[in-house]
Structure 1
Amino acid sequence: MAETSDPPTDINDTASRPPLLTTKLYIPPTRPNLVPRPHLSRRLNESLSRKLTLVSAPAGFGKTTVLSEWISQHQPAVAWLSLDEGDNDPIRFWAYFISGLQQLQPGLGETTVQLFQSPQPPPLEVCLTALLNELAVVAEPFALVLDDYHYIENPTLHEAITFLLDHAPPQFHLILTTRVDPPLPLSRLRSRGQLTELRAADLRFTLAEAATFLNEVMGLNLSAEVVAALEPRTEGWIVGLQLAALSMQGRQDITAFVHAFTGSHRYIVDYLTDEVLAQQPLVTQNFLLQTAILDRFCAPLCEAVTGQPDGQSTLERLEQANLFIVALDDARQWYRYHHLFAEVLQARLRQTQPDLEPELHRRAREWLEHNKLTHEAINHALAGHDFEQAARLIERVHSVMWQNGEIKTLQAWLAAMPLSVRHTHPRLWLVQAWAAMTIGELSEADEQLREAEAALTVLDKDRARSLRPEVLAFRASYASLSRDPAAVELTQQALQALPPDYWLRGMLVVFLGAAYYATGDLPAAAEVLAQGRSMLSSPAMQSHQIHLLPLDGMVHHAQGQLRRAWSLIRQALDLVEPGGRPIPFVGTLFTY
């Protein structure tokens, strides 16, 4: 892999929550020489008295630019979250949602984050009610932008946003940008005067705005007649105008070009991208095509993927040339391509260099892994069909992800893996089993455990021997959750077989105590949990202590030892309060 400089740091990587990309929370910086659009700014200012602003239009209509320009000029109290496909994981979505709010109100929503990230979180309405109560005490009006909401397809998240809108305090305002209307109660909000809508008809450039854009922003010197001929052909579509302007630069036959400029948006993009790319130096064309596989990129990452030096100067040239590159931070270290442009570049790469794409994903994966951006590294391993590397990385991070509550992301990764890879990596069956157990899908968990057990029979002896204690640990966990009378014996066997630092060991102690509690053997439950408190005394085991102490309190309460029960609950609260963490539900265990 090519030598590269260190990446810019934008990760908030803590043990208590999933790592967050801070660039997703940056308000996109405005470009110089933007076309003024005061009529849209006025509508956005007026919208803040309503519950929701919906900015809905196809790709390339300047949705994000309009909002960033408004924020820059008027300085409203607005936070920002740029969404992507990975945000369909509810744990990740709410971690980012609340982190966005915390850009304006530090500390807001911490309790809610911990509720969502509990291994067995309470019902969604309970979590959202906690968040709404915190929003209600904020004194000043404020808003949150969810940019590119069309990436959200999880019905649970749509239901949650609906609940928030129905019950939000008057000082909170939500702004969505999207390519398609979301499944939210728009008609109801519209009828109640609680919705502001900006659509393609509102966002497209007028004739005067198109003239300003083409001549002042893009540096052309077009006559009023040429602009008047081009504007209806693009229907004010901003990206279409930008592509047309790039194609006209240096042309002598502009009038003929404009009159020949017809077709649907898709064909316009295909045609003009050919013209734009053809006018770029070969090294720039290759850079664009090869970096189009990246959801976001910085100079060192681009250098690693393309093998070309001077990544930063190349990115600066692309930005200066208006080649559909979007800065993600004020320092202009991280970038992305306009989504539509990226899609066209990716299609061209597959058409012209189909064998190169897996190699590009491999280079990206290596760089991202080296720079501890493991989630993105896994995505590139999967995109490049490098399933062995994806399996290796998932095996490395699965325990931390489980403790952070990123179950949906794990499940999505595993769903993309061929069964043949799981058969050679039985730990992936275990990861899938634990994910299923965590969300209460016990029959699915049992099926995955059986697959893991079967896979052990075809492994070499050393690998099988190292995995058997883990299989036993998961089987014991399943037995406890499914109320199997053999749970006590299986859990004892697992605790004896596992190494002292195994990540699930603390939960097995809780499961053993719960198994005794379920059978009515309260003295045995109390003894196990007392031993567990000693074993889990280190700060690294605090998440397991927060499970153990409430259960221990229940055992002593059942024994009539109310003072001791309260003392144990108080200890749990002492662990919770410094970090703002709630006591997680262990509801499945406590329904015996």
Structure 2
Amino acid sequence: MGDDTTGLRAVPRPLEVELPRLRLVDRLRARWCRPVTLVVAGAGFGKTTALAQAVRANLLEPRGVDVWVTCGPGHEDAARLAQAILDALDSPSPDPGAPEVLAALRRRAPLDVCLLLDDVHEIPAGSPGAALLGAVARALPDTAHLVLSGRCAPGFPLARREAAGEVAAIGTADLAFSGAETAALARRFGRELPEDLNGWPALVRLSLTAGPAASWRYAAEEVLSSLTEPVRAALAALVALGCATGDEISTVSGTPVKQLEVPLVDRLDDGRYRAHDLWANLLPTDHLRDKAVEVLCARGDLAAAGRVVCRARDWELLARLAIELVRTTLSVLPWATAQRWLDAVPAQHADEPAFLLLRAAVVHARDFTDPSIDCLVDRACAQLLEAGDHDGAAVALGQAVITAHSRGDLVRLATVAHQAQRLDASTPVLRLLRHSVAAVVAELAGDPEQALVHLAQAPTSEVPQALAVSTIRFHVHCLSMCGRGREAAELAERMLDDDLARRHAAAARWFDGEAVEFHGSDADSTARGEFVARALHTVIAASFGDTTTQPFAEQDNPRDAVLACAAQAAVAVTRGEEDLARDIYKQHLARWPVDVKLAERHLRRFLTLGYVLSDELRERWDSTDLGPSHRRARAAGRAFLQARQGDLRTNLPEEHALCFLPLPWSVELAVRHAAAGRTTLGIWLADRVGPAVHRQFRELARDPGLAAGAAKLLATVPAPPEHPIGIEVIGPMRVTRDGVAVDAPQLRRVRVRQLLGLLVLRPVLGREQAVDLLWPDLDPASAARNLRVTMTHLRRLLEPDRAGGEASYCLRGDGDTIRLVRGGVLTADLWSFHELSDADQLSEAVALWRGEPLPDLIEECEAEIGHVRARYVQNLLALGELRLVSADPAEAWRLADRALTLEPFEPRAHRLALAAALRARNPQRTVETRARVLDSLRQLGVRPDPATEILLRQSVTGS
């Protein structure tokens, strides 16, 4: 029963001079009783210190797990705030957002978890960060609690929770020292306070440190005057940085910092220092600004650097940061942070080039189709070039390229290419931009080989990631255009790491002749991206006999016109309308003749279609030196046309027939080969594609010239059953047809049930393995005969309507092995049980359990059946934890009880049962569950782990 229950991140350590205020700590500990706690007061009221004390009090007598996040610059960006919370929860995510935060909170169940957000005033109302917090607050799991601490109420509504009494509020009056606390603190210092400071904690503490004081400023100056010059410099550096390590403070102040022990300076658990904001009004920091910004930029914290600069109203420095922000983010700009900077810029500076560029990036982030982007970028670029800032101009052109790519705007790309010629190529960014734009121009001229020459010289390893990724994607595209699909796929897989890259790599491999699987949505980030993906996948879908009813509109440029032409022709061929497909290519070539290099190069992407359907293209490509992928596609087209003329000498690889030919053509080729005695292609296509192949076989069986080959394949390759067949082995064995259990005599045979159970349990079963398990006492010949008889009964059980002598579809015997054809019309509850692993599928997985699995094989397959039972227990517990966080403790307890019936010593089940009993506020069940946990621990002779100990301690009170 051992889980790690730690969850603190960067919690301030209460200063020695602070007096523990038990009344306040008790109120803050009560955060475990309400979903949301608000701590709102001005600067200097000890919000952070009080929360830190409450957190540490929880460590002494834990009620759950505390997780601390200090909000700061940049957290108005939802992704950045979500990532900070997920990091604190030890749940990193590649796509951070509210759903991921809520999922991470749920994963802490059955323990309660409290998320403390300090300095929440840093997240302005209306920002994406505030929206994220609002979403989290609205959907908090029942085992999660939220503490929001700041100088003002959070920038999202909590009215619904407040109306339900689910919000606890702590304000200025609660945080101020009482008279007794102030007096006790004064006695500890051996001093008196000559004036009433209204219980203001920071002022009381500082006044006692500095001696009797008539005012806040006097007390502060007394403290400052007592500091040495290096310590004062270090404090000023910390004020400039906001929050920093000792090394960062040393870099800015110019003096080594080992310890910084100054009043109103907190030391966080991770070793960083944080100065109270009240010091910011007393220490000059202008002379440290540039150095502080340099350190913050080196840390990668441009948002914090921007805040420093905005406070100082240094618009020249903010302009440099604006260009840096666009340069390092491009199409993934944190627009909320950028907008905050733009809002701070005075009107007289708003038309400076850096801020024009930043405004363009913000507009792009919100709506890349906005026509104002180009004007803003062009104005920024022209002014930067006029000022001799070629680096800044390169960033502007990078933004222009991203926007043009997003729109698929070829004219705009050509304009950007012309502008790029004015840049000096002395830095990596400028060299990359020059070469990548030149590559775009070459590709648009129909010369992707020349584009590759430029791309090979582009320094993608020395530039911002956003610009590098864009360039690499274009490199992948150009390799595919040159017929080098395998190289394109390898480059995408090696250099890129996102769903779009994986889809590009899969498409490149498919058009190279490798029949890969496609996963994920076809959607892309732009309207044109979606059009391209839809066209490519329409052509690929034709290989499986699938068509689309969604039309492809006529395109006004040769690149997209080719995509529409190929997609429409592939659909026509798949529907048996080959003459229409020829007309589609003829009309395309009439508008975009083969001499238009760009159009002809794009036609090669779907070379087999054009080779078969157009005499003009066939003649052209027969005399052209093509790339490897295009040569394979041409070979597929030639093999198909030769087969139509009776020449069957070419054996086309099965994968190439699938990838390069629409299904009617690949099946026709298979039928022609089958008539000559070669059925390999037909069998492979039927296995890979499924029922659509048999529909094509039957269609071609009506053609006198193809009937013989089609009939042979129909007799050799079994067709799928007309009705779905289900096998249930979790509990007493059942076989269903169309969802209805069958009462077949074969099921009354033990050996039939055992063989079927083995085939469900093991994907491939060796014949020798089967006879050794089922007939261990028989001689090999008798055992083999019994296996043949049992397989005959099993075929009749699964496919009773299949004619005698026809090969079975569901049960296959391949040489020395036997297997079931998994998926499609044949399903098994055990296969589904293993596949249903997502949180929203757990109920379905648990519902599959009808009793002990495979009861006829309990002796032969004990270990494998044990694994299934263990998986079921884990599903019960995962589902129970979900029920607990969704406020259904009664169901959570029942699920835990079911798990304990199977595994009485499972620690996770005991924790869930105890947490559910507590959450249900059922004293009797809590006492009984606690006794069961303690009895289990006694029998095992072990101590409870920290998580179980927390629940056991709570159960004493709960009972």
Query: Relative to structure 1, is the Cα distance of residues 418 and 361 closer, same or farther in structure 2, using a 3 angstrom cutoff?
Result: same
Work out the CA distance in 2 between the residues paired with 1:410 and 1:130: 25
C-alpha spacing 1:480/1:525, structure 2 compared with 1 (3 Å): farther
Equivalent positions of 1:3-402 (< 5 A) are 25-32=9-16, 34-75=18-59, 76-102=64-90, 108=91, 110=92, 113-116=93-96, 127-139=97-109, 140-155=111-126, 156-216=128-188, 219-222=189-192, 230=195, 233-248=196-211, 268-278=215-225, 288-289=235-236, 291-307=238-254, 309-313=255-259, 315-316=260-261, 318=262, 323-329=263-269, 333-340=271-278, 342-346=279-283, 349=284, 357-366=285-294, 398-402=326-330
When residues 192 and 483 of structure 1 are mapped into structure 2, their CA distance, relative to the original with a 3 A threshold, is same
Q: Hey, what's the Cα distance between the residues in 2 that align with 1:185 and 1:377?
A: 30
Aligned counterparts of 1:396 and 1:532: Cα–Cα separation in 2: 33
Aligned residues of 1:55 and 1:197 also touching (Cα < 8 A) = yes
Cα pair 2:211 2:219 within 8 Å, conserved: no
Aligned partners of 1:311 and 1:63: how far apart in 2? 27
1:539 and 2:490 are equivalent in the alignment: no
8 Å Cα contact 2:38/2:168 also seen in 1: yes
Equivalent residue number for residue 519 of structure 2? 569
| CA distance, structure 2, for counterparts of residue 55 and residue 114 of structure 1 | 32
- List per-residue Cα deviations over 1:80-132 (Å, max 9, x = no partner): 11112332122221111211222xxxxx3x4xx4234xxxxxxxxxx433443
Q: Take 1:334 and 1:468, find their aligned partners in 2: how far apart are those partners?
A: 38
2:10 and 2:337 map into 1 onto residues whose CA distance is: 23
Partner Cα separation in structure 1 for residue 397 and residue 295 of structure 2: 36
The answer to whether the Cα contact below 8 Å between 1:189 and 1:195 also exists between their aligned partners in 2 is yes
Unaligned runs of 5+ in 1: 1-23, 103-107, 117-126, 250-256, 262-267, 350-356, 517-523, 573-582
1:288 Cα offset (Å): 4.3
Contact 2:323 / 2:357 at 8 angstroms: preserved in 1? no
TM superposition shift of 1:475: 4.1
CA separation of 1:91 and 1:238: change in aligned 2, threshold 3 A = same
Paired amino acid for 2:289: H
- CA distance in 2 between counterparts of 1:44 and 1:547 reads 47
Check the 8 A contact 1:293/1:361 in 2, yes or no.
yes
CA contact (8 A) 2:41 2:152 kept: yes
Tell me the number of residue pairs that the alignment of Structure 1 and Structure 2 aligns: 480
Q: Secondary structure at the match of 1:36?
A: coil
* SS across alignment from 2:519: helix
- Paired amino acid for 2:258: Q
Q: TM-score with structure 2 length normalisation?
A: 0.43
Residue of structure 1 in register with 2:441 after alignment:
493
Higher alpha-carbon Rg: 2
CA distance in 2, matches of 1:62, 1:585: 49
* 1:451 paired residue among 361, 365, 379: 379
> Letter of the aligned partner of 2:66 in structure 1?
V
> Are the aligned partners of 2:44 and 2:200 in contact in 1 as well (CA < 8 Å)?
yes
Which secondary structure state, in structure 2, belongs to the residue aligned with residue 173 of structure 1?
Answer: strand
Q: What RMSD, in angstroms, separates the aligned Cα atoms of the two structures?
A: 4.6
Q: Deviations over 1:341-362 (max 9, x none)?
A: x23224xx3xxxxxxx443213
Provide closer, same or farther for how the CA distance between residues 131 and 562 of structure 1 changes in structure 2, counting only shifts above 3 A: farther
1:36 positional shift:
2.8
Higher relative contact order (CA 8 A, sep 6+): 1
Given the superposition, is the C-alpha separation of residues 590 and 282 from structure 1 closer, same or farther in structure 2, using an over 3 Å criterion? closer
Distance in 1 (CA, whole Å) between partners of 2:407 and 2:358 is 18
Q: Residue by residue, what CA displacement relative to the aligned partner does 1:482-515 show, whole Å, maximum 9, x if unpaired?
A: 354647877731774664334536436757999x
Residue in structure 1 matched with residue 470 of structure 2 by the alignment: 507
The question of whether the paired residues in 2 share the 8 Å contact of 1:303 and 1:310 is answered with yes
- Corresponding residue to 1:481 among 382, 400, 406: 406
Letter in 2 for 1:31: L
**What code does the residue aligned with 1:295 have?**
G
Change (3 A) 1:47 1:386: closer
Bigger Cα displacement from structure 2, 31-40 vs 469-478: 469-478
Cα distance in 1 for partners of 2:294, 2:99 equals 42
Q: Gaps spanning 5+ residues in structure 2: where?
A: 1-7, 418-436, 444-450, 532-959
Inter-partner Cα distance in structure 1 for 2:470 and 2:483: 12
Secondary structure at 2:67 match in 1: strand
User: d(CA) in 2 for partners of 1:529 and 1:429?
Assistant: 41
User: Residues of 1 paired with 2:84 and 2:519: CA distance?
Assistant: 31
TM-score when normalising by structure 1: 0.66
Asked if structure 2 preserves the Cα contact closer than 8 Å seen for 1:56 and 1:181, the reply is: yes
Question: SS in structure 2 opposite 1:569?
Answer: coil
Q: What's the secondary structure of 1:214's corresponding residue? A: helix
Contact 1:289–1:345 (CA under 8 A) maintained in structure 2? no
Secondary structure of 1:312's counterpart equals coil
